[in-house]
Amino acid sequence: MTDLSSLGWGRCDAVQSGTVLGRVARIDRGRLTVLTADGERRVVPGAALHATDGTGPAVGDWVTVRGELAVELLPRKSAFVRTVAGRRSAAQVVAANLDLVLVVDALTGEARMRRIERYLAVAWSSGATPVVVLTKADLCADVAAAVEAVREDALGVDVLPVSSVTGEGLAEVRALLGPGRTAAMVGPSGVGKSSLVNALAGRTVAGTREIRDDGRGRHTTTARELHLLPGGGLLVDTPGMRELALHDDADGVEAAYADVAELAAGCRFRDCGHRGEPGCAVAAAIDDGRLDPARFTAWRKLQAETHRQLLRIDARARAEERARLRSFHRGLRERPNRLR
Ligand SMILES: Nc1nc2c(ncn2[C@@H]2O[C@H](COP(=O)(O)OP(=O)(O)OP(=O)(O)O)[C@@H](O)[C@H]2O)c(=O)[nH]1
Ligand SMILES: [Zn+2]
C-alpha cells in the first residue's frame, strides 16, 4: 500500500465510498493506466470523464476509479496546455497537477532564447513554477556564458545546465524533485528530454533515439508518461513538440517578459504602440541598450499571437451560437406546432 502523498496527493477532497483515487500515468489507445495506493490499474474512462474546461483526461490528472472504470476527473491545480495546430486550434492538456515545468533546451546550436521564451510564456500560465534546464553541457565550450545569457532573459527563473552523459548538474535537478513533487519536461524534439529522465531515474524508463536494449530499434518518445523517480519525485516525459502555439496565454507572456511589460507601463501614452510615439519608454530602452530589440520583437509577436487566438476562440463561439439558432428556427419551421 502506497501513501497517496508519494503520488503527489496533497488535498482532502472526499471520495465516494466504493471508489479509489488514482493518478493518470499513461494514456494509450483510449485506456488509462492509473497509479493508486494499491498499485497500477488499467481502466477505461467513463462517459463523464472530462474537466470543467471540456478537455479530456491528461497525464498527471487525479481520477476516481470504480472497478475498471474511471468515473470522475478531479479539478486540476495546474496544467501545461498547448494548442494543437489546425483550424480548430483546440487546447490540449500536456500534463496536469504540476509543481514544476522544466523547459528543456540544449546547449548545442545557437539562438535558443526565443524558443525558450515561448515555452516560458506557456509555462507561466500553467500555474506551476517554470525552471529552464539546458542539456548537453558536455558538448558546449563555454557553459557559464551560455547559461548567463539565458539567465538574463529568463527573469525570475532558475537556469540549470546538465549533461546526461557526464552527470553534471543532475544533483541540482534532483534537488528540485523532492518526494511527491511533480514536474513535466517540455521542449522541442531531440534536446535530450528522454535521456534526462533516464539519467534521473538511473535506468532506462524512456525511449531515446538510440537503439533500445530490447532490440526494438530506433525510437523517439511518442507518448507522455509519468515516471516515479528513485528520490520520490514524479516526472512527466513529453514527446518533442514541433511547434508550440500559444493559447490563452496573455498573462504568461506578460510574466515571461516582465521587464518589457514594466518598461511599457512607463510610456507617456497608456495605449502606446511603441512605434515611435513621443515619450515611449520601450524605444528609449532600446536606444540606450537596456533592451534587446530582438526580445522586444519577440514579445510583440507572442502578444499578437495570443490576441489572434482569443479572437479565433471568440469567433468560433459566435459561429456555434449562430448554428444553434439556425437549427432551432429550422425546427420551428418544420414543426410549427411545437411551441403550442
Ligand atoms: N552529448 C550529449 N548528448 C545527449 C545528451 N542528452 C541527450 N543526448 C543525445 O541527444 C539525442 C536526443 O536525445 P533524446 O533524449 O532522445 O531527446 P528527446 O528530447 O527525448 O527527443 P524526443 O523524444 O524526440 O522529444 C540522443 O542522440 C542523445 O544521446 C547529453 O547530455 N549530452
Ligand atoms: Zn511605448
Q: What is the DSSP string of 143-171?
A: HHHHHHHHHHHSTT-EEEE--TTT-TTHH
Known binder of ligand: residue 187?
Answer: yes
Packing angle between helix 293-334 and helix 113-125, nearest 10 degrees?
50
Name the domain count of the chain: 3
Pocket test for ligand 1, best of 102, 140, 195 (most atoms within 8 A of CB): 195
- The answer to whether 267 is annotated as binding is yes
Q: Whose CA is nearest to atom 24 of ligand 1?
A: 189
Q: CA 263, 267, 269, 275 torsion: positive or negative?
A: negative
Residue 167 falls within a domain, yes or no?
yes
Q: Are residues 64 and 140 in the same domain?
A: no
Tell whether residue 12 is among the known ligand binding residues. no
- What is the bridge-based pairing of β-strands 62-66 and 39-45? unpaired
Does residue 297 sit in helix, strand or coil?
helix
Asked whether residue 130 carries a pLDDT value surpassing 70, the answer given is yes
Residue 235's alpha-carbon distances to 35, 165, 240, 266, in angstroms, are: 14, 19, 15, 41
Q: Which of 55, 73, 91 is the last residue of a domain?
A: 73
State the ligand closest to the CA atom of 191: 1
Do residues 230 and 326 share a domain? no
Per-position DSSP letters for 268-280, written without gaps between them: SSTT--SSS-TT-
- 263 CA distance to ligand 2 middle (Å): 8
Query: Could you count the other beta carbons within 10 Å of the beta carbon of residue 324?
Result: 10
**H or E element: which one contains 293?**
helix 293-334
Q: How far apart are CA 74 and CA 28, in angstroms?
A: 20
Residue 174 C-beta-side C-alpha neighbours within 13 Å: 15
Residue nearest to atom 28 of ligand 1 (CA): 192
Q: Is 11 a domain residue?
A: yes
**Position in ligand 1 atom list of the atom nearest CA 209:** 16
* Structural domain for 170, as ranges: 79-237
What is the whole-number distance in angstroms between the Cα of residue 222 and the centre of ligand 2?
44
Q: What is the CATH number of the domain that holds 31?
A: 2.40.50.140
Last residue of a domain, one of 202, 237, 272: 237
Tell which wins on pLDDT, 333 or 271. Answer: 271
Q: Are residues 143 and 275 in the same domain?
A: no
Where does the pLDDT of residue 336 fall: very low under 50, low under 70, confident under 90, or very high at 90 and above?
A: low
- The residues near 9 (Cβ < 8 Å, ≥ 6 apart) are 21, 23, 62, 180
Q: Are residues 66 and 87 in the same domain?
A: no
User: Is 277 domain-assigned?
Assistant: yes
- The model's pLDDT over 74-121, given as tens digits with 9 standing for 90+, comes to 999 999 998 766 656 678 899 999 999 999 999 997 768 889 999 999
Please identify, by atom number, the ligand 1 atom nearest to the C-alpha of residue 187: 19
Q: Is 6 annotated as a binding residue?
A: no
By the 8 A CB rule, do 173 and 200 touch?
A: yes
Ligand 1 pocket mutation pick from 208, 221, 241 by most atoms within 8 angstroms of CB: 208
Q: Which helix (H) or strand (E) holds 20?
A: strand 20-28
**Is residue 339 included in any domain, yes or no?**
no
CA distance 186 to 30: 23
The domain that holds 258 is classified in CATH as: 1.10.40.50
> Do 88 and 192 belong to one domain?
yes
| Whether residues 102 and 216 fall in one domain | yes
Domain final residue, candidates 208, 237, 266: 237
Number of H helices, E strands in the chain: 8, 13
More confident residue, 246 or 59: 59
- As to burial, measured by CB atoms within 10 angstroms (0-12 exposed, 13-18 middle, 19+ buried), residue 163 is buried
Amino acid 260: pLDDT: 93
Residue type, position 10, single letter: G
Mean per-residue pLDDT, 47-64: 86
pLDDT of amino acid 11 = 73
The span from the CA of 336 to the CA of 328, in Å, is 11
Q: Is residue 228 domain-shared with residue 317, that is, in the same domain?
A: no
Q: Among candidates 128, 224, 105, which has minimal Cα distance to 183?
A: 128
Which ligand number lies closest to the CA of residue 199?
1
Clarify whether residues 157 and 184 are in a common domain.
Answer: yes
What is d(CA 69, CA 20) in angstroms, rounded to the nearest whole number? Answer: 11
Same-domain check for residues 228 and 270: no
Which protein residue's CA is at the shortest distance from atom 3 of ligand 1? 136
Residues 86 and 224 in one domain: yes
Q: Is 301 within any annotated ligand binding site?
A: no
**Would you state the pLDDT for residue 211?**
41
How many angstroms does the Cα of residue 97 sit away from the middle of ligand 2? 38
Angle value at C-alpha 250, between 245 and 251, nearest 5 degrees = 125
Q: What is the pLDDT of residues 217-230, one digit of tens each?
A: 444 445 689 999 99
- 176 and 220, same structural domain? yes
Indicate if 52 and 89 belong to the same structural domain. Answer: no
> Residue 228 in contact with residue 212, Cβ under 8 Å?
no
| Ligand 1: residue whose CA is nearest its atom 13 | 192
Q: Which ligand is nearest to the CA of 193?
A: 1
The pLDDT value given to residue 77: 93
> What are the pocket residues of ligand 1 if the criterion is a CB atom closer than 6 Å to any ligand atom?
135-136, 138-139, 163-165, 189-195, 208-210, 220-221, 239-240
Distance 104 CA to ligand 1 centre (A): 11
108 neighbors 140 (Cβ within 8 angstroms) = yes
Residues in the chain: 340
Q: How far is the CA of 98 from the centre of ligand 2 (A)?
A: 36
